[in-house]
Amino acid sequence: MGGGFGERARLQVPAPRSDLSEPEPVVSELDKPKRDLEVPGDWTYASAPESRDIVRIAERYGHFVGGEWLEPAETYETIAPRDEEPLAAVGQGTRADVDCAVAAARAAYADGWSSLSGSERAKYLFRIARLLQERSREFAVLESLNGGKPIKESRDVDLPLAAAHFFYYAGWADKLEYAFPNRRPRPVGVAGQIIPWNFPLLMLAWKVAPALACGNTVVLKPAETTPLSALLFCDVLRQAELPPGVVNIVTGDGRTGAALVEHDGVDKIAFTGSTEVGKGIQRRLAGSGKRLTLELGGKAANIVFDDAALDQAVEGIVNGIYFNQGHVCCAGSRLFVQESIYEPLVAKLQRRLSTLRVGDPLDKNTDIGAINSAAQLEKIRELVASGEQEGAEIYQPPCTLPEKGYWFAPTVFTNVAQSYRIAQEEIFGPVLSVLTFRTPEEAIEKANNTPYGLSAGVWTEKGSRILWMAQRLRAGVVWANTYNRFDPSSPFGGYKESGFGREGGRHGLEPYLEFDR
Ligand code: NAI
Ligand code: MG
């Protein structure tokens, strides 16, 4: 990091040709290099940090219940993963706190929210969407600081998509009868929502927007490592004048989540997180009559055929696995390459990897930020070590990692067998496993050889092959000649151990509605 020409940053022009033995190419007057300008000899990026002055972080936060801040009985410290700087003391929600929040949500539900007309509910959702847009820089900085993701991603992906989600569901709020003709939809009641740390505000939007659009009230628990954007969101709710108790936020770790799952006053649980915890929640709720949707892990296949545009595919592979440090449930973590293009593709990929910049999440040049937590870093290291032990070949581009904080270099494993743990288990880090195939049938067989089924990617020039593949891949989302594209109108969710239920689109309304017929 840090460019060598900061002191003499002047107009950057191409270096003059020193080799005069060949005739100079004909160039227009305008294109001719101006030799009197100083030319930088070092092309490393100068750092371009985003200022954090726009965000005010309080020293201490309580739980947001019934429109007010509830003093927490216990607190813990939330930190910045880039350097372990303590950011704030945050409440560790107890059963009693969850109880208060559920009571507030129930009261708000009965006291007008559930019977409010759809067009009135939509007004609040539109306001929230616009406020998120207005305050997006503030939210983006906070998201990167507390979660470790590069500012260019929080700024260009998380925030626009979170706002888009509220806009989208605002549009449905007064059209539910048309979304489900002849079925008389009505709200479910109080929704308990538990979200992970990889897209803190975006996952909040995915959960809160459809719930409110359908007339439910909410108790949401953010992940323990990334509570700050959800707490700032409470200020947006205040600005939007959302009636108190419609959205309540209780922070804390898995114990707080478990208390919410077990609470008798909750009618529906929506969970995004690990498959292990998801299975536990499903067991816990069996027979309770509580509604449940689960969005769990993945081990997606990103499949490249020999007729694909290779440079474009390399960009898609990089976006598929290094986006958000690979902390993505639908990450393209298993790359399947058709044998005939294996060598050129891997060479291109390795060359591309060496241009990725790992470092400060608040630097606008950063491609790969900090790993979210010490625990996640430990998990990545352990799985990577198992890959080396089992016999895979590791490649990491030369890069200097910051000394403080949690970091992991972008990694590619070749020579991977399907049985290796790195080909089976979700790593949730910037680690790609490369495998090969010869025929489309073999690609399908191998791609589906996983307990998960959240997403997949197909790279080929042939439209017919895309359709053939999409029909056979057991995955909730199949991207063709692109990867990690999201839109609020498009449903997202999994098969098998990736969970059930859909978020986004008209499908995303259903989990928050009861039907009289
Ligand atoms: P986790 O499943 O423990 O945490 C996700 C959320 O669930 C957090 O808000 C957490 O506080 C809550 N939680 C934990 N235990 C709970 C319980 N017993 N009852 C109710 N809520 C509970 O995931 P964790 O430990 O943060 O990450 C472990 C692995 O899970 C990751 O390495 C990754 O492989 C996977 N994961 C997948 C995600 C996805 O988007 N599908 C998101 C986060 C993690
Ligand atoms: Mg856990």
- What's the pLDDT tens digit per position in 462-487? 999 999 999 999 999 999 999 999 99
pLDDT of residue 149: 98
Instruction: Give the position of tokens 């959302």.
Output: 242
Domain locations along the chain: 52-296+499-514, 301-487
For residue 124, how far is its CA from the centre of ligand 2 (angstroms)?
34
For residue 276, how far is its CA from the centre of ligand 2 (angstroms)?
8
pLDDT of residue 516: 85
pLDDT digits (tens, 9 = 90+) for 324-343: 999 999 999 999 999 999 99
DSSP assignment of 257-291: HHHHHH-TT--EEEEES-HHHHHHHHHHHTTS--E
* pLDDT over threshold 90, residue 40: no
For residue 269, how far is its CA from the centre of ligand 1 (angstroms)?
14
For residue 498, how far is its CA from the centre of ligand 1 (angstroms)?
13
For residue 45, how far is its CA from the centre of ligand 1 (angstroms)?
36
Q: What is the pLDDT averaged over residues 143-147? A: 98
Q: What is the pLDDT averaged over residues 42-59? A: 91
Q: Indicate the SS3 state at residue 471.
A: helix
* 310 vs 7, higher pLDDT: 310
* pLDDT over threshold 70, residue 12: no
Q: What is the pLDDT averaged over residues 73-100? A: 98
- Nearest atom (ligand 1) to Cα of 224: 11
Distances (CA, A) of 14 to 8, 32, 350: 16, 9, 26
| Active-site residue, from 138, 295, 426, 510 | 295
| Active-site residue, from 214, 234, 329, 330 | 329
pLDDT of residue 13: 45
Q: Kindly list the protein residues whose Cβ atom lies closer than 6 A to any atom of ligand 1.
A: 194-196, 198, 221, 223-224, 253-254, 257-258, 261, 272-274, 277, 280-281, 295-297, 329, 376, 379, 426, 428
- Nearest atom (ligand 1) to Cα of 298: 41
Please tell me the number of the ligand nearest to residue 269's CA: 1
pLDDT of residue 2: 38
- Nearest atom (ligand 1) to Cα of 296: 41
* pLDDT over threshold 70, residue 272: yes
pTM of the model as a whole: 0.92
pLDDT of residue 5: 38
76, 277, 372: residue to mutate for ligand 1 pocket, most atoms within 8 A of CB: 277
Among protein residues, the one whose CA lies closest to atom 22 of ligand 1: 254
pLDDT of residue 42: 76
User: Strands 455-459 and 301-304, how do they pair?
Assistant: parallel
Q: What is the pLDDT averaged over residues 139-168? A: 98
Among protein residues, the one whose CA lies closest to atom 13 of ligand 1: 254
Q: Indicate the SS3 state at residue 77.
A: strand
* pLDDT over threshold 90, residue 317: yes
- Residues 40 and 12: beta-carbon distance below 8 Å: yes
pLDDT digits (tens, 9 = 90+) for 398-420: 999 999 999 999 999 999 999 99
Q: How confident is the model at residue 28 (pLDDT cuts 50, 70, 90)?
A: low
Q: How confident is the model at residue 44 (pLDDT cuts 50, 70, 90)?
A: confident
DSSP assignment of 91-138: E---HHHHHHHHHHHHHHIIIIITTS-HHHHHHHHHHHHHHHHHTHHH
Please provide the average confidence, as pLDDT, over all residues in the chain: 94
- What percentage of the chain reaches a pLDDT higher than 90? 90
- What percentage of the chain reaches a pLDDT higher than 70? 92
Q: Which has the minimum average pLDDT: 7-16, 343-352, 363-372?
A: 7-16
- Nearest atom (ligand 1) to Cα of 194: 9
110 Cβ contact partners less than 8 Å away, ≥ 6 residues apart = none
- Nearest atom (ligand 1) to Cα of 195: 9
Q: What is the pLDDT averaged over residues 376-398? A: 98
* pLDDT over threshold 80, residue 435: yes
Please tell me the number of the ligand nearest to residue 452's CA: 1
Does the domain spanning 52-296+499-514 belong to CATH 1.10.260.40? no
CATH architecture of the region 301-487 = 3-Layer(aba) Sandwich (3.40)
201, 274, 276, 330: residue to mutate for ligand 1 pocket, most atoms within 8 A of CB: 274
Q: Is 295 a catalytic residue?
A: yes
User: Strands 334-338 and 431-437, how do they pair?
Assistant: parallel
- Nearest atom (ligand 1) to Cα of 295: 41
Q: Is 84 a catalytic residue?
A: no
* pLDDT over threshold 50, residue 8: no
For residue 366, how far is its CA from the centre of ligand 1 (angstroms)?
26
* pLDDT over threshold 70, residue 22: no
pLDDT of residue 25: 55
Please tell me the number of the ligand nearest to residue 373's CA: 1
For residue 376, how far is its CA from the centre of ligand 2 (angstroms)?
10
For residue 502, how far is its CA from the centre of ligand 1 (angstroms)?
18
Backbone angles phi, psi at 163, to 5 degrees: -65, -45
Among protein residues, the one whose CA lies closest to atom 43 of ligand 1: 273
Among protein residues, the one whose CA lies closest to atom 29 of ligand 1: 274
Which tokens in the block code for residue 231? Answer: 């707490």
